[in-house]
Amino acid sequence: MKKIALILVMVGVVASLAIAETSAAKVFPWEGCFTKADGSPYEVVFITDQAANEMMVAHTKHDQGVIEKGGGRWTLFSANMDVAKQSSALEDTLLRKPDAIVLHPVAADTTIPYIERGTDKGIDFYVSMMPPLTEKGRLHPDILAYVGDYQKSSIIARANYMIDYFKKKGIKARLLFAWGSYGKGSFCAPVWEALQKTIKGSPWVEKVYETPGTNFMVEKLYNATMDAFAAHPDINAILPCCGMGQQGIYQALQDLHRWYPDGHKDHVFIATRDAEDWALEYLEQGYINSDCDMHIDRYSDTTAKVIWWLTVKGAPIKKVNTSKAWSYGQGIPEEILMHDTLVTKETVQGMREYWKKMGRDYYNWPCHKDEEFIKYPAP
């Protein structure tokens, strides 16, 4: 089994950065970069938990654009939040022996056997956002690169914002943490651990309740929220692991008559993630207190570029930006964590303007110049 040094890639951006180039008329810089010497294409397969929400549509479409316009072959499989479908797609893909597989897993731990088998076949594995972790909480060593930060920056920012909110109100938070995947090695485990460290010792967090695992499914999150409020009607704050399936939480709050904008006596504080358009509308209306924007353009752009660097070029990333301004904390030197941008009612308009300039033609989104992020060579 091939053992490869862990590489974590920072893909965040903060408001002080210049807005990304958006002109689709410019010459595509990666033309021919995913074509082999014999003229055949590099084959990249993206197996995602779902490709329905706006973030994953943007992610997969932009990666497809970079790979295909670069001369490669691109295939997308959506598991529709079904572990059995994810496993079946992995089984079939291993038989095809593509050059690279990108995973955004439903249940990250269930992908490990396929990663090990595929690595033995010479397939390169990459992971976006939701990493398969060992029981010790480390990224599985057969993964060539992980694009993300275990979502630690998001939960740290959201939890701190929650503490500040309740401090200003002069009341204590009785928090519900909504799990997606659950247990050791799950995607949400590092999020939960970072939350615990952030709120530890805070006099403004009185109680913390948890839902069972929901696999980010709308119906399960709905039921888990209903059950939590039935058992603990004193809940006044909710932090979901991430934004997937959050509609279930909001529907439950409506049915519980707890869906009110900030300022109402029965308002429930909510700090979520993903910054989809419909969620930003709730933010503007006060139903949601904060959101976190992962900058999916950086995720997708970086995923494609790392595949080119490692699978096509066959060379490790030797130089990365280690500026503390871009990392939310570092463990080993290769761990450079993405920094989400916290979005509040006061800053939401600026975030909308950013995405308006990017547009919705995800396939033809421009490739960012990443000298300030990852030191990629010119194609």
Per-residue model confidence (pLDDT) at position 338: 59
Contact 342, 13 (CB under 8 A): no
Structure tokens given for 346: 């006061």
pLDDT band at 147 (very low <50, low <70, confident <90, very high): confident
What's the rounded mean pLDDT across residues 97-121?
A: 93
Domains 8-149+295-359 and 152-272 share a fold: yes
Q: CA neighbours within 13 Å on the CB side: how many for 112? A: 15
For residues 175 and 248, give the distance between their C-alpha atoms in angstroms, rounded to a whole number.
17
Structure tokens given for 173: 């938070």
Residue found by looking up tokens 């995405």 in the block: 355
Report the alpha-carbon angle 164-165-168, nearest 5. Answer: 85
- Residue 59: strand, helix, or coil: helix
Domain ranges of the chain: 8-149+295-359, 152-272
Between residues 348 and 216, the one the model is more confident about: 348
Q: Does domain 8-149+295-359 have CATH number 3.40.50.1000?
A: no
For residues 58 and 60, give the distance between their C-alpha atoms in angstroms, rounded to a whole number.
6
Question: To the nearest whole number, what is the mean pLDDT of the chain?
Answer: 83
Amino acid in position 88? S
> Which range is least confidently modeled, 14-23, 127-136, 217-226, 344-353?
14-23
Taking the alpha carbons at both ends of the chain, their separation in whole angstroms is 31
Structure tokens given for 36: 């082999």
Contact 299, 358 (CB under 8 A): no
For residue 332, give the nearest of 340, 322, 341, 342 by alpha carbon. 322
Amino acid in position 94? L
Q: Strand 100-104 to strand 124-128: parallel, antiparallel, or no bridges (unpaired)?
A: parallel
Per residue in 47-79, pLDDT (tens digit) is 998 888 888 999 999 999 999 999 999 999 999
For residues 282 and 272, give the distance between their C-alpha atoms in angstroms, rounded to a whole number.
11
Contact 109, 133 (CB under 8 A): yes
Task: Return the beta strands (E) in the chain as ranges.
Answer: 8-9, 43-48, 73-78, 100-104, 124-128, 145-147, 173-178, 205-210, 237-240, 269-270, 290-293, 341-344
Contact 9, 147 (CB under 8 A): yes
Per residue in 317-333, pLDDT (tens digit) is 544 444 444 333 333 33
* Type and span of the H or E element at 334: none
Contacts of 328 (CB under 8 A, 6+ apart): 149, 152, 153, 156, 337, 338, 339
* Type and span of the H or E element at 153: helix 152-169
Per residue in 192-222, pLDDT (tens digit) is 999 999 999 999 999 999 999 998 889 999 9
CATH level 3 topology of 152-272: Rossmann fold (3.40.50)
* Helices of type H across 17-82: 54-69
pLDDT over threshold 50, residue 39? yes
**DSSP bridge pairs for 76:** 46
Contact 174, 206 (CB under 8 A): yes
pTM over 0.85: no
